[in-house]
């Protein structure tokens, strides 16, 4: 770990001010990802600004019946909150399927949004090639052991996936990320928050280095109460998703009126499955409909030596998740 | 012997210490002026080091010294019998040459005032290499022509076995299968990582606190490497935080810590990080096991070929002995067991939670199920038709074998006969495929030479000592039980001590032989102690309070007795010793390929459990769903 300076701030303005114009500095949330990466020598900030005391832990209803989640709310608190459990069970389930209770107690919502990929070639600096870690150095995963890697939206520069479960639910829920920078506040829609790798895989998100996430806002979605998160992984617990699906359905008797579907473990960002949503709209909520929609979504998928299984797995997971939601009372 | 305590529900004698955080593990011994060592490791898997640049690292805050090949002393080799002839552990002492054999290989040690400073300085060491392409896959063509056919497992059991005419038998078999099973590399990850603290008490006396299951072995190894008399190396290890096969063999960290301690003239502690548990001290090798098995029309095994390919590293020839149980687990006239080793640029393999018996019996039992299915026989019936009444490999009777009874009890408890038999025919509500399976469990029942002393103290308590190990399985409690029972005094009056190389010899903790080896020594020492008291003209008192008086009357400070127990050679040559069991499982595989084991029943022969609480903890998994 490299030596770094540390300071603690008490309000968001001070936080932003402290890091303004310091691209080498970083905010410290729960530290469950950042500290790990510093120990591995992947992240080498020279300054940490501890934001754990910022008064941004609220989980509250908004006037339009949406819910605002403060950036410093802990993953466990969000998962167990009544508003979340009743109105957005998919988010609660996604959070509870991630990491371990101890980690969830530490992990913050802001930090979860910005957690970095678990690509082996990124995580271990002994591998010389990683465009995300060292732009221009190549991609070790492309011809390497790529079992956990992307099948959708990847580029030949990077086939890493975004590892978060929470973000898959947030993508399905059309969340909005509110951020504050030296020039004031702005809102980023969830679909625009994370990026596809393209030629700049070193950039995970559209957040500027000196911007602080202050909250994540969930819009009111009446049918989100009928939602589910399905996570497929190598172990039943304490493992990242190979493929995951966040799904919510609005049904009129057995007809799909509206759907929200997002996939995890398949792309450089949480993958909103727009094709599935449009394919099943107006159709009867049954396995055939779901399977056809899954085929359409994965039509453009591309597998590599060790991860091609994900294509069929993603299709089956979509069918399974949607069938589960359709069967809910 | 009145078995008053054996089989009772005792609480662990060290339980309180553990829950209070007072059991001292290797990394927790405070030493004066302790310095911290961190390993410098290779980031390539094959090649040579051309330069190690320590100029920046050397001047980082807190750095005391850096030991690399440049300033390393000349180490003497490890004892041959512990590292050669296929023994687990590396036969190459560290820092004597520039060769790199696998990623993570130790290239030096940075010593600093704090652990964090040492970690940081280590990241500043710049190593330049002349890399070679590494070979890491079992089937890589480059290593096939130099494959090794090891003769023996650690110089003991034969690894290449032939009985009868396998080819002829396969040619005429009514039913046969040809299948390959592979198992992955498996790493040991106990909660406690490796840790060693080395301290030179005098220029020729070394004190080492280390997490080791081989106290006496480590003492010998270190004495050899540094050219010291064995008794000048003192190893202490009162508790081990789990091992799963690790902490029992020779790796370079202890040598490096001791050499670093000499260099800085202070105690040096070297504790592995979690990632180092994957590259610095062994792992189970990958295996690929091919079976050609044939049976006649009645389901009698006629031919069994078990061919294993596995790997070793360039600095060891340890072989995962996958086929050893296939030699004799079932009755079969034509048997061929072979082991083939290729050298890969991977961390040196060693045993992991039972050596090759674990992946080997997994594969054998899976193959047998496939053949049973082929013959149309129930897998239990199939095994019964091939029941080995004697050890057909050694051609001698079993010491005891109650496997038939295990099958019967297990089948009954599992409702085996009521299951849906046809493979692939049963589905759950969620679309899961449901299957039932069973397997035989077997492991050699070993025993080793071991010694113990028993000492009657002034206060009427008895101290019993042996250089054995507490890996979390309850050695302190079990040995206290055996001592208390032999002496006929309450367990509270016994103090059992272990984990010190100055105590009487005990074997490495492994091979499931700790209790069978050390308990006879403990009981023997206690019997000898009783005898010594009787020799004084006293009778052994039933009332423990009188022991103190007795000692006072004798005018001695203490009375000490010793005993060395050895396996009964005659019996060991006359019989074959194995433990058996039977396992029955129900497994669901859902449409997403997720495997869920819904039911496991493990049946072991009815035996005396030395502690029913431990037994219950061990077997409570049998009812989970
Ligand atoms: C063993 C293990 C298993 C895990 N398993 C899973 C899993 O199964 N599923 C899953 O989804 N996740 C998993 N995780 C990841 C976990 O969810 C993340 O580590 C956690 O959410 C990160 O939150 P944090 O507050 O600790 O972030 P930090 O580590 O503190 O920060 C992460 C990044 O976010 C930045 N940051 C933090 N807060 C803000 C803010 N308000 N504004 C701007 N920048 C900010 C930091 O500068 C840093 O770059 C696992 C982690 C571990 C260690």
Q: What is the pLDDT of residues A136-194, one digit of tens each?
A: 999 999 999 999 999 999 999 999 999 999 999 999 999 999 999 999 999 999 999 99
For residue B95, what are the contacts with CB-CB under 8 A and spacing of at least 6? B67, B68, B69, B72, B75, B106, B107, B108, B256, B259
If you measure from the C-alpha of residue B488 to the centroid of ligand 1, how many angstroms do you get, rounded to a whole number? 59
- Pocket mutation for ligand 1, best pick of A13, A16, A27 (most atoms within 8 Å of C-beta): A27
> Which residues in chain B are contacts of A316 at CB distance < 8 A?
591-592
- The Cα angle at residue B543 between residues B542 and B549, in degrees rounded to 5: 115
Domain ranges of chain B: 15-22+447-572, 26-133+191-278, 141-187+283-395, 418-436+577-624
Q: Which of A2, A126, A232 sits opposite B592 (nearest CB)?
A: A232
Tell me the nearest-neighbour CA distance from B176 into chain A, angstroms.
31
If you measure from the C-alpha of residue A215 to the centroid of ligand 1, how many angstroms do you get, rounded to a whole number? 15
**Domain A5-52 CATH (choose: 3.30.43.10, 3.90.1150.10, 3.40.630.30, 3.40.50.300):** 3.30.43.10
Question: Which SS3 state, helix, strand or coil, does residue A259 take?
Answer: strand
Q: Do B116 and A126 touch (CB under 8 A)?
A: no
Q: What is the pLDDT of residues B230-267, one digit of tens each?
A: 999 999 999 999 999 999 988 999 999 999 999 999 99
Using alpha carbons, list the distances in angstroms from residue B48 to B101, B136, B137, B317. 9, 17, 21, 21
DSSP per position, B442-495: EEE-----EEEEEEE-TTS-EEEE-S---SSS-HHHHHHHHHHHHHTS-GGGEE
Query: Which tokens in the block code for residue B369?
Result: 């199920």
DSSP structural state of residue B24: P
Question: Residues B19, B11: contact at Cβ < 8 Å?
Answer: no
What percentage of chain A reaches a pLDDT higher than 70?
A: 100
Q: Residue B163's Cα: distance from chain center in Å?
A: 30
Spatial distance between the Cα atoms of B548 and B493, rounded to a whole number of angstroms: 11
| Same fold for the pair B15-22+447-572 and B141-187+283-395 | yes
Starting at the edge strand found earlier in the chain, the sheet holding A5-8 runs: A5-8, A47-50, A25-28
Query: Which tokens in the block code for residue B77?
Result: 């080799």
Is the pLDDT confidence value at A123 over 50? Answer: yes
CB atoms near residue A240 (< 10 Å): 21
- Pocket mutation for ligand 1, best pick of A26, A46, A105, A107 (most atoms within 8 Å of C-beta): A107
**Which of A3, A38, A46 to mutate: most B Cβ within 10 Å?**
A3
Closest CA to A154 of A318, A319, A321, A307: A307
Q: Is B465 exposed, middle or buried (0-12, 13-18, 19+ CB in 10 A)?
A: buried
Domain ranges of chain A: 5-52, 230-326
Q: Which of A2, A232, A313 sits opposite B120 (nearest CB)?
A: A2
Look at residue B619 in the predicted model and tell me its pLDDT: 46
Does domain A230-326 fall under CATH 3.20.20.70? My reply is: no
Q: Is B259 exposed, middle or buried (0-12, 13-18, 19+ CB in 10 A)?
A: buried
Q: Which of A3, A126, A232 sits opposite B120 (nearest CB)?
A: A3
Q: Which of B43, B594, B596 sits opposite A232 (nearest CB)?
A: B594
Please tell me which residue of chain B has the smallest CA distance to A235: B594
**Which of A316, A317, A322 to mutate: most B Cβ within 10 Å?**
A316
Look at residue B609 in the predicted model and tell me its pLDDT: 58
Q: Report the CATH fold assignment for B141-187+283-395.
A: Aldehyde Oxidoreductase; domain 4 (3.30.365)
> What atom of ligand 1 comes closest to residue A165's alpha carbon?
11
Question: Which SS3 state, helix, strand or coil, does residue A243 take?
Answer: strand
Look at residue B317 in the predicted model and tell me its pLDDT: 94
Look at residue B146 in the predicted model and tell me its pLDDT: 94
Question: Residues B190, B242: contact at Cβ < 8 Å?
Answer: yes
> Which regions of chain B are under pLDDT 70?
1-4, 607-625
Q: How confident is the model at residue A248 (pLDDT cuts 50, 70, 90)?
A: very high
**Which of A130, A237, A320 to mutate: most B Cβ within 10 Å?**
A320
Report the residue count for chain B.
Answer: 625
A&B contacts, CB < 8 Å: 23
Tell me the nearest-neighbour CA distance from A46 into chain B, angstroms.
14
Q: Looking at B279-386, list the stretches that DSSP marks H as alpha helix, in order from N- to C-terminal side.
A: 357-375, 379-385
Spatial distance between the Cα atoms of A176 and A68, rounded to a whole number of angstroms: 9
Query: Which tokens in the block code for residue B256?
Result: 């490096």
- The Cα angle at residue A99 between residues A113 and A164, in degrees rounded to 5: 30
Look at residue B544 in the predicted model and tell me its pLDDT: 79
Q: Looking at B141-267, list the stretches that DSSP marks H as alpha helix, in order from N- to C-terminal side.
A: 141-144, 166-172, 215-226, 253-264
Tell me the nearest-neighbour CA distance from A21 into chain B, angstroms.
27
Domain B26-133+191-278, CATH = 3.90.1170.50
Q: Which residues line ligand 1 (CB under 6 A)?
A: A 26-34, 36, 51, 71, 75, 98-99, 103, 106-108, 110-112, 114-115, 163-166, 212-213, 240
Tell me the nearest-neighbour CA distance from A101 into chain B, angstroms.
18
DSSP strand pairing (B578-589 vs B559-565)? unpaired
> Which residues in chain A are contacts of B120 at CB distance < 8 A?
1-3
Please tell me which residue of chain A has the smallest CA distance to B42: A126
pTM given for the model? 0.93
Q: What is the pLDDT of residues A63-80, one digit of tens each?
A: 999 999 999 999 999 999
ipTM of the complex: 0.90
**Which of B125, B592, B594 to mutate: most A Cβ within 10 Å?**
B592
Q: What is the pLDDT of residues A285-308, one digit of tens each?
A: 999 999 999 999 999 999 999 999
> What atom of ligand 1 comes closest to residue A99's alpha carbon?
5
Helix axes of A309-326 and A287-298: crossing angle, nearest 10 degrees: 140
Phi, psi (5° rounding) for residue B364?
Answer: -60, -45
B123 near A CB under 8 A: yes
Phi, psi (5° rounding) for residue A59?
Answer: -130, 105
Spatial distance between the Cα atoms of A27 and A18, rounded to a whole number of angstroms: 10
Spatial distance between the Cα atoms of B183 and B362, rounded to a whole number of angstroms: 9
For residue B65, what are the contacts with CB-CB under 8 A and spacing of at least 6? B111, B260, B263, B264
Spatial distance between the Cα atoms of B513 and B190, rounded to a whole number of angstroms: 20
Spatial distance between the Cα atoms of B111 and B259, rounded to a whole number of angstroms: 11
Closest CA to B487 of B532, B554, B536, B549: B532
Strands (DSSP E) contained in B192-300 are 195-202, 205-210, 233-236, 268-271, 287-295
Sign of the four-CA dihedral B607, B608, B610, B612: positive
Question: Residues A15, A9: contact at Cβ < 8 Å?
Answer: yes
Helix axes of B475-487 and B514-535: crossing angle, nearest 10 degrees: 30
Tell me the nearest-neighbour CA distance from B451 into chain A, angstroms.
44
CATH class for domain B15-22+447-572?
alpha beta
Which residues make beta-bridge pairs with B127? B52
Strands (DSSP E) contained in B70-116 are 99-100, 106-112
Pick the residue whose CA is nearest to atom 43 on ligand 1: A212
Q: Is B408 exposed, middle or buried (0-12, 13-18, 19+ CB in 10 A)?
A: middle
Look at residue B623 in the predicted model and tell me its pLDDT: 34
For chain A, counts of helices (H) and of strands (E) = 13, 12
The residue with tokens 């700790």 is: B514
Closest CA to B452 of B490, B497, B510, B516: B497
If you measure from the C-alpha of residue A107 to the centroid of ligand 1, how many angstroms do you get, rounded to a whole number? 6
Question: Residues A57, A73: contact at Cβ < 8 Å?
Answer: yes
Starting at the edge strand found earlier in the chain, the sheet holding A255-264 runs: A227-232, A243-252, A255-264, A271-272
């Amino acid at each position: 770990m490299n030596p770094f300076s540390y300071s603690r701030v008490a309000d968001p303005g001070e936080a932003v001010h402290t890091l303004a114009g310091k691209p080498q500095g970083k905010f410290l949330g729960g530290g469950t990802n950042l500290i790990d990466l510093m120990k591995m020598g992947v992240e080498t900030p020279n300054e940490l600004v501890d934001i754990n005391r910022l008064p941004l832990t609220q989980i509250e209803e908004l006037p339009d019946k949406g819910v605002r989640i403060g950036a410093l709310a802990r993953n466990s608190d969000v998962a167990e909150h009544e508003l979340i459990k009743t109105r957005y069970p998919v988010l609660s389930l996604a959070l509870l399927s991630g990491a371990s209770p101890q980690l969830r107690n530490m992990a913050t919502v802001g930090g979860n949004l910005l957690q970095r990929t678990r690509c082996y070639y990124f995580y271990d600096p002994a591998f010389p090639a990683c465009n995300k870690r060292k732009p221009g150095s190549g991609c070790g995963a492309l011809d390497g052991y790529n079992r956990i890697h992307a099948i959708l939206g990847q580029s030949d520069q990077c086939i890493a996936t975004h590892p978060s479960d929470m973000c898959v639910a947030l993508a399905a829920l059309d969340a909005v990320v509110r951020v504050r920078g030296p020039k004031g506040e702005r809102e980023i829609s969830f679909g625009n928050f994370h990026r596809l790798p393209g030629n700049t895989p070193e950039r995970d998100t559209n957040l500027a280095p000196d911007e602080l996430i202050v909250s994540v806002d969930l819009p009111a979605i009446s049918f989100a109460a009928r939602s589910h998160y399905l996570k497929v992984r190598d172990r039943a617990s304490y493992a990242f998703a190979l493929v995951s699906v966040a799904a919510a359905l609005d049904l009129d008797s057995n007809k799909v009126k509206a759907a929200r579907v997002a996939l995890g473990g398949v792309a450089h960002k949480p993958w909103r499955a727009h094709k599935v949503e449009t394919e099943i709209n107006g159709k009867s909520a049954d396995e055939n409909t779901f399977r056809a929609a899954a085929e359409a979504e994965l039509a453009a998928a591309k597998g590599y030596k060790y991860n091609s299984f994900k294509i069929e797995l993603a299709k089956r997971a979509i069918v399974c998740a949607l069938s589960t939601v359709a069967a809910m009372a | 012997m009145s078995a008053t305590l054996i089989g009772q529900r005792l609480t662990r004698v060290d339980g309180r210490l553990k829950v209070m955080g007072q059991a001292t593990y290797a990394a927790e011994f405070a030493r004066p002026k302790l310095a911290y060592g961190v390993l410098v490791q290779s980031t390539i898997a094959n090649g040579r080091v051309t330069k190690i640049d320590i100029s920046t690292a050397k001047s980082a805050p807190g750095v005391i010294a850096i030991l690399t090949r440049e300033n390393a002393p000349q180490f003497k080799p490890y004892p041959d019998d512990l590292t050669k002839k296929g023994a687990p552990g590396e036969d190459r002492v560290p820092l004597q040459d520039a060769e790199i054999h696998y990623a993570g290989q130790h290239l030096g040690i940075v010593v600093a005032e704090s652990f964090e400073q040492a970690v940081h300085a280590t990241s500043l060491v710049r190593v330049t290499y002349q890399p070679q392409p590494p070979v890491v896959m079992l089937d890589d063509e480059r290593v096939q022509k130099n494959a090794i056919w090891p003769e023996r497992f650690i110089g003991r059991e034969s690894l290449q076995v032939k009985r009868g005419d396998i080819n002829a038998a396969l040619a005429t078999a009514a039913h046969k299968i040809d299948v390959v099973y592979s198992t992955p590399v498996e790493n040991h990850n106990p909660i406690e990582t490796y840790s060693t603290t080395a301290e030179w008490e005098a220029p020729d006396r070394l004190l080492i606190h280390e997490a080791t299951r081989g106290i006496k072995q480590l003492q010998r190894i270190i004495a050899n490497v540094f050219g010291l008399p064995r008794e000048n190396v003192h190893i202490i290890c009162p508790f081990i935080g789990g091992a799963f096969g690790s902490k029992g063999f020779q790796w370079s960290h202890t040598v490096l810590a001791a050499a670093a301690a000499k260099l800085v003239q202070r105690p040096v502690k070297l504790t592995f990080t979690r990632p180092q548990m994957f590259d610095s001290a062994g792992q189970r090798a990958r295996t690929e096991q091919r079976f050609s098995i044939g049976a006649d029309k009645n389901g009698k095994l006629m031919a069994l070929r078990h061919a294993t390919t596995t790997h070793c590293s360039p600095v060891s020839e340890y072989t995962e002995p996958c086929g050893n149980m296939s030699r004799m687990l079932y009755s079969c006239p034509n048997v061929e067991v072979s082991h083939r080793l290729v050298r890969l640029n991977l961390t040196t393999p060693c045993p992991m939670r039972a050596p090759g018996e674990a992946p080997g019996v997994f594969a054998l039992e899976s193959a047998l199920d496939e053949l049973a299915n082929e013959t149309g026989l129930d897998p239990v019936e199939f095994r019964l038709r091939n029941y080995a009444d004697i050890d057909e490999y050694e051609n001698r009777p079993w010491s005891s074998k109650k496997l038939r009874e295990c099958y019967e009890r297990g089948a009954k408890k599992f409702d085996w006969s009521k299951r849906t038999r046809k493979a692939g025919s049963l589905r759950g509500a969620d679309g899961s495929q449901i299957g039932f399976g069973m397997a035989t469990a077997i492991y050699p029942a070993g025993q080793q030479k071991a010694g113990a002393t028993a000492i009657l103290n002034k206060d009427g308590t008895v101290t019993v000592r042996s250089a054995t190990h507490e890996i979390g399985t309850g050695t302190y409690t079990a040995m206290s039980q055996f001592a208390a029972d032999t002496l006929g005094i309450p367990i509270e009056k016994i103090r059992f001590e272990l984990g010190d190389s100055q105590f009487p010899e005990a074997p490495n903790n492994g091979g499931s032989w700790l209790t069978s080896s050390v308990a006879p020594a403990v009981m023997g020492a206690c019997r000898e102690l009783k005898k010594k008291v009787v020799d004084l003209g006293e009778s052994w008192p039933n009332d423990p309070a009188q022991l103190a008086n007795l000692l006072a009357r004798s005018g001695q400070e203490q009375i000490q007795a010793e005993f060395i127990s050895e396996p009964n050679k005659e019996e060991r040559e006359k019989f074959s010793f194995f433990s058996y069991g039977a396992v029955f499982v129900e497994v669901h595989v859902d449409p997403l390929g997720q495997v869920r084991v819904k039911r496991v029943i493990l049946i072991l022969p009815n035996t005396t459990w030395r502690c029913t609480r431990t037994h219950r903890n061990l077997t409570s998994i049998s009812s989970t769903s």
